[in-house]
């Protein structure tokens, strides 16, 4: 080797450069997206501008590939394979199985608003029926600036808000769809209204006898030792399925909630009394209005008794018959009936 070649080699080594045969420098390189996708078949890449999940669909993740969809095992009369397929949207539904039916499961996703995005705001509502068929899956338009989309957990991105609907429209749809139906949910009070200073979501109430909260019922019937089991833990225990491994899908969570409920439906439905007929409730209120008792409490919103306040107020008046014979009152000439007794005497 000549002196000039040796000096060039020393300079190269001093600068930290390595010959090409030693491999690339110790620096993180950007991988080509096509190379990364082909190297990891179970991993899908998405731009920040694309939606996390198509409407009514779920993501394909590695955990789904490990699920046994062919098992013949049953539990409490339910096929585990069928319930697992339902969770991941692999069931084909008949025309009757796409109707709302008696049971509906709900789940919501939220984004962060306010200071540092700590306040939760409803961003997605998903409702499925007993068979896992999607009845509703809508994104909710935000009235405040979204500070944190919480994509890591919610799966929601800014592009999802392009076709989002107004809150009032979504709320009205949920109310109409769930009316007179049994609502299944996991910690469902978090999805309906404010409870224990938790996030205000749909601002809806639902009759207690028509609610099946899988979190509360699982603890009540000793399905789990935890008083507030997480949905992912309950699904893993009961169905040997992993959910919420990455970004969440409210459709998947609603189906998983319904699957857990179906395993214990016969037991968990016991003890719930049916709602009273609407006629019975109306007659009770009417009796309170028709009461002749002066101190009877006035039903709220009806104003003074007998005065309409925008509602149909019914006041029953008792008909009075006129008597032909005058009734003696305290103002009559009572002293004329004392007889002809002498003054100062008393007749015994």
Tokens of 208: 């207690």
Give the pairing type, strands 211-213 and 182-185. Answer: parallel
- Asked if residue 195 is part of any domain, the answer here is yes
**From CA 267, how far away is CA 264, in angstroms rounded?**
6
| Phi, psi angles (nearest 5°) of residue 40 | -125, 90
Enclosing domain of residue 148: 62-268
Tokens of 71: 């098992």
State residue 123's pLDDT score: 94
Indicate if the pLDDT at residue 12 is higher than 70. Answer: no
To 10 degrees, the CA torsion angle through 162, 167, 170, 175? 170
Do the beta carbons of residue 177 and residue 104 sit within 8 Å? Answer: yes
Indicate if the pLDDT at residue 175 is higher than 70. Answer: yes
* Domains: count for the chain: 1
- Asked if residue 309 is part of any domain, the answer here is no
30 in helix, strand or coil?
A: coil
Q: What is the mean pLDDT of residues 31-49?
A: 39
Tokens of 215: 């979190």
- CATH number of the CATH domain containing 208: 3.30.420.10
- Asked if residue 198 is part of any domain, the answer here is yes
159-169 pLDDT, tens digit per residue, is 999 989 999 99
- Asked if residue 139 is part of any domain, the answer here is yes
302-346 pLDDT, tens digit per residue, is 333 333 323 233 334 445 555 555 555 555 666 666 655 555 555
**From CA 31, how far away is CA 257, in angstroms rounded?**
39
Q: Is the pTM of this model over 0.75?
A: no
- Asked if residue 232 is part of any domain, the answer here is yes
184-238 pLDDT, tens digit per residue, is 999 988 887 654 454 457 888 898 899 999 999 999 999 999 999 999 999 999 9
Find the DSSP H helices in the chain.
Answer: 3-14, 33-39, 62-65, 80-87, 151-154, 167-178, 189-192, 214-220, 231-239, 250-263, 265-268, 278-290
> Residue 110's beta-bridge partner residues?
122
Do the beta carbons of residue 285 and residue 299 sit within 8 Å? Answer: yes
**From CA 143, how far away is CA 154, in angstroms rounded?**
18
Tokens of 267: 């037991």
The sign of the CA dihedral 174, 177, 180, 183 is negative
- Asked if residue 243 is part of any domain, the answer here is yes
Write the CB contacts of 199 (distance below 8 Å, at least 6 apart in sequence): 110, 119, 120, 121, 190
> Residue 139's beta-bridge partner residues?
124
Do the beta carbons of residue 208 and residue 255 sit within 8 Å? Answer: no
């Amino acid at each position: 080797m000549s002196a000039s070649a040796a000096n060039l080699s020393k300079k190269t080594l001093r600068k930290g450069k390595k010959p090409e045969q030693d491999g690339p420098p110790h620096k993180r390189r950007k991988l080509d997206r096509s190379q990364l996708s082909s190297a990891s078949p179970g991993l899908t890449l998405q731009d920040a501008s694309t939606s996390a999940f198509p409407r009514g669909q779920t993501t394909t993740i590695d955990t789904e590939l490990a699920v046994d969809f062919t098992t013949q095992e049953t539990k409490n009369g339910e096929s585990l394979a069928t319930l697992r397929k339902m969770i991941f949207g692999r069931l084909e539904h008949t025309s009757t199985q796409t109707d709302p039916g008696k049971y509906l499961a709900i789940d919501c996703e939220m984004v962060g608003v306010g200071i540092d995005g700590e306040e939760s705001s409803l961003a997605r509502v998903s409702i499925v029926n007993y068979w896992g068929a999607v009845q509703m899956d809508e994104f909710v338009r935000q009235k405040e600036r979204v500070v944190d989309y919480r994509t890591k957990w919610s799966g929601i991105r800014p592009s999802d808000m392009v076709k989002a609907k107004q809150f009032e429209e979504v709320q009205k749809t949920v109310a109409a769809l769930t009316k007179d139906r049994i609502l299944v949910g996991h910690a469902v009070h978090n999805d309906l209204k404010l409870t224990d200073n938790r996030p205000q979501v749909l601002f809806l109430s639902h009759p207690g006898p028509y609610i099946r909260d899988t979190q509360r019922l699982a603890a009540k019937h000793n399905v789990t030792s935890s008083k507030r089991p997480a949905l992912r833990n309950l699904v893993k225990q009961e169905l040997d399925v992993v959910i919420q491994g990455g970004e969440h899908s409210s459709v998947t969570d609603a189906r998983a909630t319904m699957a857990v409920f179906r395993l214990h439906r016969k037991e968990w439905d016991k003890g719930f009394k049916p709602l009273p007929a609407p006629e019975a409730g109306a007659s009770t209120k009417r009796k309170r209005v028709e009461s002749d008792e002066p101190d009877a409490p006035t039903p709220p919103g009806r104003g003074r008794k007998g005065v309409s306040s925008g509602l149909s107020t019914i006041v029953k008046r008792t008909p009075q018959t006129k008597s032909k014979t005058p009734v003696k009152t305290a103002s009559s000439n009572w002293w004329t009936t004392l007889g002809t007794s002498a003054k100062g005497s008393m007749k015994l």
